[in-house]
Structure 1
Amino acid sequence: MVVLPSPVVQRRAVAWVFLFALALAAPSLARAQSAKATAPIPAATLALMSQKGTSASAPVLFRAYKKESEIEVWKKAAGGRFVHIKTFPICRWSGQLGPKRKTGDRQTPEGFYTVPQRQMNPNSSYYLSFDVGYPNAYDRAQGSTGSAVMVHGVCSSMGCFAMTDQVVGEIYAIARDAFAGGQAAFQFQSYPFRMNAANMARYRTDPNIAFWRQLKEGSDRFEATGEEPNVTVTAGRYAFLPYKDPALESLVTARRVQEEARIASLVEEGSAAVRTTYSDGAQHPFWAALSAKGVSLGDVSRPEALAYAGQDVIVIPAQRRPILVAEAVWSRWMVAASVPALMRVRGFKPAYEQAPSRFAALVTRYDQTLPTILSASLTGQMPAPTPPAIIETLAQR
């Protein structure tokens, strides 16, 4: 008779086998983790940096745009300004346009975030990742909750920027080498869309517009100067410290005036106002096209929601004002030889080119018209008005 060990002994034996197997596999897993976290920046990207006058060790800054589903990489060049290196397509972000408010709302955050080296995660469950730093001081001032908002691999998001493994590997390497070059922390700017005048006019009725105007101020400072904006939070609002160089502040002021004038002009011209809605976030068309060709993107979160991404709701229809053309222009156009014959007005002359009427000096006000004409006819300056009905008509005016 075979005597089997007790269930407790069996469970212990299985556990020891698992631990033994894990111990054997641990060095291999560690080597794999180390390999992906230490992979070099691709040569093509290094070449782009060299062309723009920067290097792998120079400070880095990232800018994310939810509506366009893109993350831009900027590096500080030798002249001190940040220069654009390349743009990565986002495979998946979740939620709607607007800031993150609470844990579990699936919102990808918007704002200005700081990422020190300790927030880099080479052992991420999503290949590689870094924590963007949500909630920041602004988010906490608004009472917003949540944590662990990442830029990571795969194509699944619950409030993060999911980039796929290959793309996040390059992003991670770029950030890693900037830290190795001495950068203490990099800025991560997250926007609902590109913060230009056209979009600000387009979303002018959105409930988040006051918040987005704060973000635009920081974006304008960066666009005008190429330098990282100095972000603070005052009375629950984003605020920006002035640059030490007055010349830079002058550039900021000029851009702000120009942008505000452009927004006002677009609104006055009758541009449409919209709200863009999502079932649950979106992805860049690059990844959508690959998926349509049958290329696997791995684990894609809520793929059914992508069919309802970016639906524009017209709040105020576009009302284009008619273009006013001076008479001097349209009147000459009507008789121009270049106008098709069927549209040409033969013999047309604008009023200012016609000979003055011989009655112009005589006809002034209606109450003077009849006596003036009668006097002129009696003295022979003009023929008597005929038929008589004309005189009666004039007298009744």
Structure 2
Amino acid sequence: MTFRVLKPAAAVAFAALSLAACNDSGLSHRSLAPVPRETVALMEKLGTSKDAPMLIRAYKKEAELEIWKMGSDGKYVHLKTFPMCRWSGQLGPKTREGDRQVPEGFYSITPAQMNPNSSYYLSFNVGYPNQLDKALGHTGGTIMVHGACSSAGCFSMTDAQIAEIYAIARASFEGGQQSIQMQSLPFRMTAENLAKHRLDSNIGFWRNLKEGSDHFEVTKMEPEVAFCGRRYVFNAAADGRMDPLAACPPLKQDPEIVASVSAKSAKDEEKIAELSQSVKPVRVVYQDGGMHPSFLSKVAETSRPEAVAPPEEIALDDKAGRGKAAQIASKSPVVTMAAAKAAAPTRPTETTSVARALSADTRREMSALAATAEDGPTSSIKRALKLKK
């Protein structure tokens, strides 16, 4: 179980922050609103409670944000899915200040990142950039989940939605949770999505995110996140410090978890390979992000309504893509990482990576798909809204 408990001093500081909001003009009641009774009843039905730890999963393509709560057995259960009112940019990670990109990766939200006095009704900072983002030179910050249905690189909800999400998070902190993990993903990590996006320039990064997603889906527990070899590693320990930019040292993992994750990954790869015979690879380009279909009737009320339009799917040449992939595979961080792990000595207590657990044919397929013949999506609009988050 990775439930992290607030130290007494931190709990007192969070309580003081909440009480301080009472003295701010006009905004105090927002941050102190209780968790809706219907939601509390749903929690009880699912075997959890309002003061239990929570976890957030966000999906850009589907424009959905999920709230998960820890049950009495230490495993997370899905509580609610909120349709996202607005997100900006393209599929793919955030890399620089002003690119309007909603970040992708694994982030941590602490009590200090909660903003009860936001001009976007309520908000909390997701924790971008994380240690890996910083090591890779990614810039920018102040990326929020907030209300107002207006996005310049943030996860934008309605005011009613953020009020409930904020209340759930506040109750989890008050119950002792030290930090909330947020998994920000480009899309649901299904075989269908991975087959469709198999030649996108971000596919190697997305497959790395899928490893963390698989760990969560297999265990229903918050994956421990670390960084080495310019990538994420999950539920792994090493003797000594792991450097985000240096090759990963021999890693120790729970053999049972690795076996379960490997089995899921192998099954997914078989489905991806099967779908790749019939599903054409595409690159999806947005004018500037999107919104959940349930909000399409309210486009005029959101930020940059002229940019809210169905994305363009650009067909890619599968054969040409694979040819180029073979030429640049040796330069791919994902492939290089796999090679480094394959060459590293192992001990009985150490486990191999998911990729090495697959067949040789599947590994070759994964290596080819990790590279691409295409440039990334068109650059996002640099103009950012200059509003206080």
Q: TM-score, normalised by structure 1?
A: 0.68
Aligned counterpart in structure 2 of residue 260 of structure 1, from 253, 259, 269: 269
Bigger Rg, which one: 1
Which residue number in structure 2 is paired with residue 173 of structure 1?
A: 167
2:227 to 226, 233, 238: 233
Aligned partners of 2:129 and 2:138 also within 8 Å: yes
* AA aligned opposite 1:302: R
Q: Is 1:312 the counterpart of 2:306 in the alignment? A: no
Cα deviations across residues 257-283 of structure 1 (Å, max 9, x unaligned)?
A: 21122212222x332111111000101
Match of 1:147 among 122, 141, 147: 141
Deviations 1:69-110 (A, max 9, x none): 010000011121111011001111000000001000000100
Corresponding residue of 1:93: 87
Distance in structure 2 (CA, Å) of the matches to 1:142 and 1:116 = 23
**CA deviation after TM superposition for structure 1 residue 129, in Å:** 0.5
The match for 2:303 is 301
Map 1:46-195 to 2 at 5 A: 46-195=40-189
> What secondary structure sits across from 1:301 in the alignment?
coil
Residue of structure 2 equivalent to 1:211 = 205
Tell me the alpha carbon deviations over residues 25-49 of structure 1, each in whole angstroms, 9 at most, x when there is no partner. Answer: x999726322110101111111211
Instruction: Work out the CA distance in 2 between the residues paired with 1:32 and 1:171.
Output: 20
What is the percent sequence identity of the aligned residues? 53
SS, match of residue 101 in structure 1: coil
Q: Which runs of 5+ in 2 are unaligned?
A: 1-19, 237-251, 320-389
Compute the displacement of 1:246 (Å): 4.2
Distance 2:264 2:55 in 1: 21
- Report the AA paired with residue 104 of structure 1: G
Contact 2:21 2:31 (C-alpha < 8 Å) held by counterparts? no
CA distance in 2, matches of 1:234, 1:140: 13
Distance apart, 1:317 and its partner CA: 8.1
Say which of 30, 41, 44 aligns to 1:36: 30
What are the equivalent positions in structure 2 for 1:14-29 lying under 5 Å apart?
Answer: none
Shift of 1:208: 0.5
Distance 1:247 1:80 in 2: 17
TM-score by length of 2: 0.70
Q: Which amino acid aligns with 2:289?
A: G
Ranked by relative contact order (alpha carbons within 8 Å, sequence separation 6 or more), the top structure is 2
Counterpart for residue 271 of structure 1: 279
Contact 1:122-1:128 at 8 Å conserved across structures: yes
In 1, Cα distance between equivalents of 2:213 and 2:22: 45
In structure 2, relative to structure 1, the CA distance for the partners of 1:27 and 1:220 (3 Å cut) is closer
User: 1:65–1:190: 8 Å Cα contact kept in structure 2?
Assistant: yes
Q: Counterparts in 2 of 1:313-328, with a 5 A limit?
A: 313-316=314-317
d(CA) in 1 for partners of 2:75, 2:22: 42
Question: Structure 1 residues 306, 175: closer, same or farther in 2, change over 3 A?
Answer: same
Partner of 1:340: none
- What is the CA deviation profile of residues 136-174 of structure 1, one whole-angstrom value per residue up to 9, with x for unaligned ones? 112112210001000001011110011021110000001
Amino acid at match of 1:66: K
Correspondent of 2:258 among 218, 234, 249: 249
Moved over 3 A (4+): 26-29, 242-249
Instruction: Write the distance in 2 (CA, Å) between the matches of 1:271 and 1:109.
Output: 27
Q: Secondary structure at the match of 2:26?
A: helix
Contact 2:21 2:117 in 1 (8 A): no
Contact conserved, 2:129 with 2:140, CA < 8 A, in 1? yes
Cα distance change, pair 154–273 in 1 and its aligned pair in 2 (3 A) = same
Q: Which stretch has the larger CA shift, 28-37 or 67-76?
A: 28-37
Deviation at 1:184, TM superposition (A): 0.2
Unpaired runs of 5+ in structure 1? 1-25, 319-397
- 1:244/1:50 CA distance change after superposition, 3 Å: farther
- Cα distance in 2 between the residues matched to 1:198 and 1:183: 35
* Greater alpha carbon shift after TM alignment, 245-254 vs 54-63: 245-254
Please report the RMSD computed on the Cα atoms of aligned residues, expressed in angstroms. Answer: 2.1
Distance 2:53 2:107 in 1: 15
Deviations 1:218-245 (A, max 9, x none): 1111111101111111021111124975
Aligned pair count? Answer: 285
SS of the aligned residue for 1:85 comes to strand
What secondary structure, in the 3-state scheme, does the structure 1 residue paired with 2:24 have? helix
Shift of 1:311: 1.9
Q: Which amino acid aligns with 2:304?
A: R
Q: Are the equivalent residues in 2 in contact too, given 1:131–1:150 (CA < 8 A)?
A: yes
Verify the 8 A CA contact 1:67 1:310 in the aligned structure 2: no
